[in-house]
Amino acid sequence: MTTRTDSGKADPQIESREDLLAPFVKGEKPEAAWRIGTEHEKFVYRRDDQRAPGYDEPGGIRDLLMAMTEFGWTPVEEGGNVIALAGPDGNVSLEPAGQFELSGAPLDHLHQTCAEAGRHLRQVKAVGERLGLGFLGLGMWPDKARVDLPIMPKGRYAIMLRHMPRVGTLGLDMMLRTCTIQVNLDYSSEADMAQKFRVGLALQPLATALFANSPFTEGKPNGFLSYRSHIWSDTDPARTGMLPFVFEDGFGYERYLDYALDVPMYFVYRDGRYIDAAGLSFRDFMRGELSALPGEKPRLSDWVDHLSTAFPEVRLKSFLEMRGADGGPWSRICALPALWVGLLYDQNALDAAWDEVKHWSLDERQRLRDEVPKLGLKARTPAGEPLRDLGERVLAIAEAGLNARARLNAAGDNETGFLDPLREIVASGLTPAERLLERFRSEWQGDVVRIYQEESF
């Protein structure tokens, strides 16, 4: 999640809807300037006993952050605590229970993206060797209860942890027990944004199935392939979901703006601290009537912060975020951006992908999204076919899109090889979660702790 380091005092005050629309409009870029930003989270654990380390303990999360500075990272503080790092590969930040996230730099092609992921993973593993820490690539803690997990000293998380139980039963699990991979992509115009948003949103259940990797809760199978995805169905309905209005005629910046204004607030950041505004209205803030900050109107940084507190399956800021995938190994960190870049960064591929989904109704899209966390690639599309069959065609479209981009590495390879892990999943018809469940029932003999040996980075 976003890490703030300033008070917002230098930001312009928001005076009009045009000011609110500005981040979306300023996000427009010519195709030559489109970039790829990849984010990936991982669980940190003590290698001797698989315990989740606290922030302050010796060899814990603070020491992990500080040890990363030897690779050129610069500490970022909040309230006297180092809670993030900044560097040439983007930013390292902490999720609420210490999940370790790289928000990568905006890069031109997937060879750079995968190299960036590799650098980061080599760095954390080198530090982990000294501190006795391991790093696990899954969508959900396989064996930890909420009470087993530490809380990181970030002001926005304290507010969210208080608020989540008021609006859903699984929001605390989302914060404390899950990890994801996501990719952030550019658009050239409002119309381009709308088409990419629609394709991304309609196909998000396919991404969830391909990356499904969270079948265990507290040491036992939980009945889902992507329990992380299921968690979002009861986190906070006011800020999550499939956003039916995206598929309505005329969808664009204005409509998303109205949606974002109606998402309840979490906080306002002032003078280095987070002020609790959970459940309050940004529209009231615009009128100077926010009870948490009476008489004050929002600044641009407040609006940018607020946009980061909506959690739909695809999110618009000054770029589009694809948010449906569980955390996983290095190969799938590279595969997720390959999927979406192949589909969205070539117009022929984008049109072909839209042709696959444009006839789906609101109810059909929602049904598919609801079924995938349990059924994975065995879920049925609105056409009545297994999702696996659609996956074959979509991967072929993505491959064609990557071929058209023709971004080569030093060996002359294009980007299509990064799709290989997804091709294997579709060919087998088995999600990563189903592979884990097979091993749990056979060679692991019901002992989920084996997952730390076999699925760590």
DSSP at 60 = S
Residue type, 87: G
pLDDT of residue 7: 45
pLDDT of residue 55: 98
Note the Cα 236 to chain centre separation in Å. Answer: 16
Beta carbons of 155 and 2 less than 8 angstroms apart: no
Question: In a structure prediction context, what are the per-residue pLDDT tens digits for the chain, which is 457 residues long?
Answer: 556 555 445 789 999 999 999 999 999 999 999 999 999 999 999 999 999 999 999 999 999 999 999 999 999 999 999 999 999 999 999 999 999 999 999 999 999 999 999 999 999 999 999 999 999 999 999 999 999 999 999 999 999 999 999 999 999 999 999 999 999 999 999 999 999 999 999 999 999 999 999 999 999 999 999 999 999 999 999 999 999 999 999 999 999 999 999 999 999 999 999 999 999 999 999 999 999 999 999 999 999 999 999 999 999 999 999 999 999 999 999 999 999 999 999 999 999 999 999 999 999 999 999 999 999 999 999 999 999 999 999 999 999 999 999 999 999 999 999 999 999 999 999 999 999 999 999 999 999 999 999 999 9
Report the 10 Å Cβ neighbour count for 431: 27
At 184, which helix (H) or strand (E)? strand 180-185
pLDDT of residue 11: 87
Cα 412 from Cα 452, distance rounded (Å): 36
Beta carbons of 51 and 144 less than 8 angstroms apart: no
User: Tokens standing for 307?
Assistant: 């946009």
Q: Is 379 left (phi over 0), alpha (psi -120 to 50) or beta?
A: beta
Q: How much of the chain is in helix, strand and coil states, percent to nearest 5?
A: 45, 20, 35
The topology under which CATH files domain 17-455 is Creatine Kinase; Chain A, domain 2 (3.30.590)
Note the Cα 163 to chain centre separation in Å. Answer: 21
Beta carbons of 83 and 76 less than 8 angstroms apart: yes
pLDDT of residue 396: 98
Q: DSSP 3-state assignment of 111?
A: helix
pLDDT of residue 5: 55
Best CA proximity match to 236, nearest among 174, 170, 168, 310: 168
Concatenated DSSP letters of 347-416? HHHHHHHHHHHTT--HHHHHHHHHHHHHHGGGSBPTTSSBHHHHHHHHHHHHHHHHHHH----TTS--GG
Between helix 330-344 and helix 190-202 the angle, nearest 10°, is: 130
Beta carbons of 85 and 73 less than 8 angstroms apart: yes
Cα 401 from Cα 329, distance rounded (Å): 24
Cα 358 from Cα 342, distance rounded (Å): 18
At 94, which helix (H) or strand (E)? strand 90-94
Cα 308 from Cα 364, distance rounded (Å): 28
- What own/partner pairs with CB < 8 Å and gap ≥ 24 does 348-353 have? 348/400, 348/401, 348/404, 349/397, 349/398, 349/400, 349/401, 349/404, 350/195, 350/196, 350/199, 350/401, 352/397, 352/400, 353/199, 353/203, 353/394, 353/397
Cα 64 from Cα 44, distance rounded (Å): 10
Note the Cα 378 to chain centre separation in Å. Answer: 24
Please state, in angstroms and as integers, the Cα–Cα distance from residue 192 to each residue in 195, 216, 251, 320, 413, following that order: 5, 39, 11, 11, 29
Cα 358 from Cα 238, distance rounded (Å): 25
